[in-house]
Amino acid sequence: MALLKILRYPDPRLHKIAKPVTEFGTEHLRQLVKDMAETMYDAPGVGLAATQVDVHERVVVIDVSETTDQLLVFVNPEITWASDEKQVYDEGCLSVPGIYDGVERPARVKVKAYDVEGKEFELDADGLLAVCIQHEMDHLMGKVFVEYLSPLKRNRIKAKLQKEERGMERDAALRAARR
Amino acid at 37: A
DSSP, collapsed to helix, strand or coil, labels residue 74 as strand
DSSP, collapsed to helix, strand or coil, labels residue 98 as strand
For residues 60 and 73, is the Cβ–Cβ distance under 8 A? Answer: yes
- Annotated active-site residue 136? The verdict is yes
Q: Which of 136, 147, 164, 165 is catalytic?
A: 136
Q: Is 28 annotated as a binding residue?
A: no
Cα–Cα dist 37/123, whole Å? 20
Residue 107: CB atoms within 10 A of its CB come to 18
Q: Is 132 annotated as a binding residue?
A: no
Q: Is 56 annotated as a binding residue?
A: no
Q: Which residues are annotated as a binding site for Fe cation?
A: 93, 135, 139
As annotated, the active-site residues are 136
Q: Which residues are annotated as a binding site?
A: 93, 135, 139
